[in-house]
Amino acid sequence: MKYCKYHPLTPANYYCDPCDIDLCEQCVDEGQYAEYAHCFLCEKNVNANIGGGHQVEAFWHRFDKSFRYPLNVGTIIFIVGLSILMTVATFIPFAWVIQLALSGALFKYSFSCLEKTASGMLLAPDISDAYGDGSSLMLRLLVIFLLIIGSVVGLNIYFQSTLILVISSSLAVVFMPAVFIIFALEDNILAAINPLKQFKLISAIGLPYTLLLIIILIMSASVGLINELIGGDFSFVSLALQSMAGNYYTIVLFHIMGYMIYQYHYELGFAVSENNAERVKARNDVTRLLSKIKIMIKEGRYDKALTLFAKGASDYPEDNHLNYEFFKFLLGKKSHEDIERYAPVYLKSLSRNDQTYKLMLSYQRLLDVNASYFPDSAELRFSIAQACQENGDLATVVKLINGMHKTFPEFKDLIPAYELMARALDELPERKKQAAQCREFIKHLEKNIDAIKPRKKVTPEVKNTTPQPAWYESDLKISLVSLDEEK
């Protein structure tokens, strides 16, 4: 059994040939509608890794499921309706054209069952698969039968031996399921009647192929038994019931043959399509994005992961899980520049959702990585300060608010912010005098808030030169040196 490169304990369901890696369902991009599975790295289609990717239940262990396969409303209506029409056609002179069309519909649907089961679709397809050019399919099957019969007759004529006739006829019967399977896989008459291909297929499957032949014999015998039980007095009823049983068994048999391909995927060299019922279920865009990001991180492609995170945060700003994963990534990357630029995304999401305790802890975790980090907006700084106040981190409250009137003079909540700071100073030891100073400063703000003039944003290249009132520059003198020591 092969295992996913990124989840070593998880069996691999897919294989990417260009990247030469095995992948589980969580590590492929199934797209918005789960139509095709792609590799996150190279973005090419991946092959379903059915045979060695995970343990497929052996077909002889699921006979009950195989015989329930056609038992859905649509398929039952198809079997019953088709059987009645076939029975009626037997009483119409020169109705072979109708029989051919009806048989074509049956085999077209049966081959669809085989092909889709081989690809992993373990539910019967819609009966619309029976519509279309069924007569053409039936004619091709007739050509195959005639070529096989012609080969048996030709061998008998050439060797003039009853033994050769018996052996060739028996082999033709034994190889017939292999003929159907090859024809379904390759859609080629010559390939289907090629004895080397037939022998290779039977050898790949091994002894279980014999079990398939036994099933066919039992099915054939049970159809004949219906006629024996009903008798010849009700010929129409008997023919209809035999037709229903035969059509039902045909669908079951083709399903079993398809499942054999599904089970012996590697042995037969069959590339299973990813369009199957057991494929990855369509995940939402964020979940797929996070899967891709995790792979980029495991591959060491951190810049690509950062780009994907940034785009995801922009496209899905309200997705808390995405924002949290982005935040953890930033902490792990420890880039001060990236933290300054992107950390507010997560902090703002916590603030919007009133997760005050997480907001405080997250800010503290950022300080562990970047001790000089301050939020770049007054609103966020005030929100974090409120969260710290609620959760008892008073020193951080003072650090966040102190000097805010200079950095964000236009902030509409300057007064509530400094009131919060004053309350924090009240509760800190030996800060009563500074709390009083803070309240005096608040009085100045309340009287003169309109006199504060907006300043240009401070950068290393741009210095603040906008003149402010004297009280603005000098009235609030709060040292945080001892606060740092206390914290």
Instruction: Say whether both 130 and 39 belong to one domain.
Output: no
pLDDT reported for residue 184: 84
Instruction: Say whether both 235 and 261 belong to one domain.
Output: yes
370 in a structural domain: no
Q: Quick one: 274 exposed, middle or buried, by C-beta within 10 A (0-12, 13-18, 19+)?
A: buried
- DSSP assignment of 213-271 equals HHHHHHHHHHHHHHHHHH-STTHHHHHHHHHHHHHHHHHHHHHHHHHHHHHTHHHHT--
382 in a structural domain: no
Count the neighbouring beta carbons within 10 Å of the beta carbon of residue 133.
10
pLDDT reported for residue 52: 43
What is d(CA 26, CA 103) in angstroms, rounded to the nearest whole number?
43
227 in a structural domain: yes
pLDDT reported for residue 343: 92
Instruction: Say whether both 102 and 194 belong to one domain.
Output: yes
Domain span including residue 27: 14-53
pLDDT reported for residue 482: 41
300 φ/ψ sector (left φ>0, alpha ψ -120 to 50, else beta)? left
Residue of 110, 127, 426 lying closest to 246 (CA atoms): 110
Instruction: Say whether both 67 and 46 belong to one domain.
Output: no
Count the neighbouring beta carbons within 10 Å of the beta carbon of residue 85.
16
1 in a structural domain: no
Residue of 145, 170, 195, 183 lying closest to 261 (CA atoms): 183
243, 268, 293: which is the final residue of a domain?
A: 268
**DSSP label at 348?**
H
Give residues with Cβ within 8 angstroms of 202, minimum separation 6: 175, 178, 209
188 in a structural domain: yes
Instruction: Say whether both 159 and 255 belong to one domain.
Output: yes
Two tokens at 81? 């309706």
Whether the CB-CB separation of 420 and 389 falls below 8 Å is answered with yes
pLDDT reported for residue 452: 55
8 in a structural domain: no
Whether the CB-CB separation of 410 and 450 falls below 8 Å is answered with no
Instruction: Say whether both 115 and 188 belong to one domain.
Output: yes
The answer, as to whether pTM is greater than 0.85, is no
pLDDT reported for residue 233: 54
240, 268, 296: which is the final residue of a domain?
A: 268
Q: How far is CA 111 from CA 59, 187, 188, 254, 344, in A?
A: 18, 11, 14, 7, 58
pLDDT reported for residue 231: 60
Instruction: Say whether both 21 and 122 belong to one domain.
Output: no
Give residues with Cβ within 8 angstroms of 302, minimum separation 6: 296, 333
215, 241, 268: which is the final residue of a domain?
A: 268
Number of domains in the chain: 3
Whether the CB-CB separation of 278 and 27 falls below 8 Å is answered with no
68 in a structural domain: yes
Instruction: Say whether both 172 and 196 belong to one domain.
Output: yes
Instruction: Say whether both 32 and 174 belong to one domain.
Output: no
295 in a structural domain: no
What is d(CA 405, CA 417) in angstroms, rounded to the nearest whole number?
10
pLDDT (tens place) for every residue of the chain, 487 residues total? 678 899 988 878 788 888 999 888 889 887 765 556 789 999 888 876 554 434 567 788 888 999 999 999 999 999 999 999 988 888 887 777 788 888 888 988 998 899 888 877 888 888 887 776 667 888 888 899 899 999 888 888 888 888 888 898 888 889 999 998 888 888 889 989 998 988 888 888 888 899 989 998 888 888 777 767 766 555 778 788 888 999 999 999 999 999 888 887 656 656 554 444 344 456 788 999 999 999 999 999 999 999 999 999 999 988 989 999 999 999 999 999 999 999 998 999 899 888 999 999 999 999 999 988 998 899 999 999 999 999 999 999 999 998 888 888 888 898 999 999 999 999 888 888 889 988 888 888 887 766 554 544 444 444 444 455 444 444 444 444 344 434 4
E strand intervals along 57-150: none
Instruction: Say whether both 127 and 263 belong to one domain.
Output: yes
Instruction: Say whether both 120 and 150 belong to one domain.
Output: yes
Instruction: Say whether both 47 and 66 belong to one domain.
Output: no
